[in-house]
Amino acid sequence: MLRTTVLLLLAGLAVASGCGQPGSPPPKPATPPASLGASAPAAKKTPPHDETAGEAPAPAGMQVQASDALAAFLKSYFQSWSDGNMAAYRAHFHPQARICFVNAGKVLYALDAEEFLAQQEKLVKESKVPMEERILKSVVQEDAQAASAVVHWELLKGEQRSTGVDRFTLMRSAEGPWTITSLMFYKSE
């Protein structure tokens, strides 16, 4: 029951993010269940990755802080891009992932993983100045199969600095590592 509910909630996040088919009307937001039930397993205790005051408690069976494995995955995601290691960056994405860039309530583009990765490879290759993207803060909910992560970042591109947010939906692959199934991102300044 918990697994089905969590997957439905995460699927609702991906659909509600506006990452549907181009031209399709935005879906109605999913309504989360009032309770996940008393039979759900307890959340796994791990050291916190990020302290976030004022967050609502996680449903039973979910943890709000990233496990060491997920924290390392997110760090590797940003580091591989910053290093220009596009083979390592590519390995973070599920082949069927969907990536959306949004601004002011509009989807500016929605790409499949291959299109997005080709775009990122070109961007990194053609940059005339060093680029580094750093995690400023993250908020994560995860269980044994899936996770959602909101990561606030800063991008340093030569003398320029910008900030933004990446909203990830991830799943644990059959082989064990995390993989990105959807990403919605936007600039915050």
H runs (alpha helix) in 105-169: 113-126
Please write the tens of the pLDDT for every residue from 9-19. Answer: 333 444 434 44
The dihedral built from the CA positions of residue 103, 11, 58 and 138, taken in this order, carries a sign that is: negative
The pLDDT value given to residue 170: 97
**What is the mean pLDDT of the segment spanning 113-136?**
97
Name which of 100, 115, 104 is nearest 22 in CA terms: 100
154 close to 136: Cβ distance less than 8 angstroms: yes
What residues does each domain of the chain span? 2-21+62-187
Confidence at residue 175, expressed as pLDDT on a 0 to 100 scale: 79
As a whole number, mean pLDDT of residues 139-160 equals 95
**Class assignment of domain 2-21+62-187?**
alpha beta
DSSP E strands in the chain: the ranges are: 93-103, 106-112, 131-142, 146-157, 160-172, 178-187
Q: Give the global pTM.
A: 0.68
Which carries the bigger pLDDT value, residue 92 or residue 18? Answer: 92
Q: Report the distance separating Cα 74 and Cα 149, nearest Å.
A: 9
- Given a cut of 80, whether residue 97 has pLDDT beyond it is yes
